Amino acid sequence: MANIKQISDKDMLDIILDIFEYMTLDVNDLSMVYLELSSKNTREFDSVIINMLNYCISNILNHIKYARTRDYNYVDILAGTSFDKEE
């Protein structure tokens, strides 16, 4: 196992992005199970939760995709933030 000080910033970012991607895919799996279970009941509340989860999952995966390209300007636009320091 590599010493944490030996890991480059790029590798560390890739590790973090991998973790977020796996977490998002786990949430996606859970939402699919929830969708399957809620299909037996047609409650409006269930569809709101499923739509919200799908929206969040899609946004997170888009952020990860563009962060992997290192197109930080596009990531800033998606997140509504900026890494540029204006002084």
Pick the more confident residue, 81 or 51.
Answer: 51
Give mean pLDDT, residues 5-10: 71
Q: Please state, in angstroms and rounded to a whole number, the distance separating the CA atoms of residues 85 and 5.
A: 26
What is the pLDDT, as a whole number, of residue 60?
83
What is the pLDDT, as a whole number, of residue 85?
47
What is the pLDDT, as a whole number, of residue 44?
66
> How far lies 4's CA from each of 11, 83, 85, in Å?
11, 24, 28
Q: How many separate helices (H) and strands (E) can be counted in the chain?
A: 3, 0
DSSP 14-55: HHHHHHHHHHHHHHHHHHHHHHHHHTTS--HHHHHHHHHHHH
Place of tokens 């970012």: 13
CB 50 within 8 A of CB 34: yes
Would you say the pTM of this structure is higher than 0.85? no
pLDDT digits (tens, 9 = 90+) for 22-76: 888 888 888 887 777 776 666 666 777 778 888 888 888 887 777 777 666 665 6
What is the pLDDT, as a whole number, of residue 42?
65
